[in-house]
Amino acid sequence: MSMFFLILKSYSQNKYLTKNGITEFKASVETFEPVEAVNNNTTVLFKSNTNEIAILLFLKSFHFEIALMEEHFNENYMDSDKFPKAKFSGKIINKKDKYFIKGNLNIKGISKEVITEIEFIKGNTIKIKGFFEVKPSDFNIKIPSIVRKKISEKIKINFNYELQSKT
């Protein structure tokens, strides 16, 4: 009987999730009105028995300081009405005390493999933190020539997630 509860307990601790994950990006070159935004409601689901991780965010939830920039981001660059979500699915890999996240990032219907080292701390909660860089052209995001000098070639994406055990 106690064995049964033990199994049940370990099963319930398999899944970890957050709905308030922080994902932000920085795309500006220095000395320009910063092109950066933050998304405070990224969904992250992690299964500790298989090390699988799934991340989902809505592009319209990226908050920019400047409202017009947010409008341009959604309408001109990301086409958020047509492609409202950015998704990632992959695994967390442990190699010699180092942790990596590896998987496919899907933006605007285009998938691209991403691998990056992360900070991975497991206690009562699981903390996952790191960054990687992408090129807008990889996801068919066209930067008009008039602003090309103001948007950096590579866009840095920072993420910081704290996942709670799902009961």
Partner 1 sequence: MNFNLKHKVFSILFIIILGSILFLFRHVYKEHQNIENLNPDYFGTYEDFKINQNNYWENKIIDIEGKLTEKTTNSIILNNQIFFLLDSNQNTNFLSIDEKIRIKGRVVGYDELLEELKVDKAIILNK
| Residues binding partner 1 (CB under 8 A) | 17, 19-20, 40-41, 43, 45, 54, 56, 58, 60-61, 66-68, 70, 81, 84-85
Q: Taking the complex as a whole, how short is the minimal distance between the CB of residue 30 and partner 1, in angstroms?
A: 20
Contact 23, 159 (CB under 8 A): yes
110 closest CA partner among 92, 89, 86: 86
Q: Taking the complex as a whole, how short is the minimal distance between the CB of residue 74 and partner 1, in angstroms?
A: 9
Residue nearer to partner 1 on the CB measure, 84 or 156: 84
Q: Taking the complex as a whole, how short is the minimal distance between the CB of residue 61 and partner 1, in angstroms?
A: 5
Q: How close are the terminal C-alpha atoms of the chain, in Å?
A: 20
Backbone dihedral region for residue 108 (phi beyond 0: left; psi -120 to 50: alpha; all else: beta): left
Residue nearer to partner 1 on the CB measure, 58 or 131: 58
Residue nearer to partner 1 on the CB measure, 45 or 114: 45
Q: Provide the 10 A C-beta neighbour count for residue 165.
A: 14
Q: Taking the complex as a whole, how short is the minimal distance between the CB of residue 69 and partner 1, in angstroms?
A: 9
Burial profile 116-151: b = 16 or more Cβ within 10 angstroms, e = fewer: eebebeeeeebebebebebebeebebebeeeeeeeb
Residue nearer to partner 1 on the CB measure, 3 or 68: 68
Q: Taking the complex as a whole, how short is the minimal distance between the CB of residue 1 and partner 1, in angstroms?
A: 31
Residue nearer to partner 1 on the CB measure, 1 or 67: 67
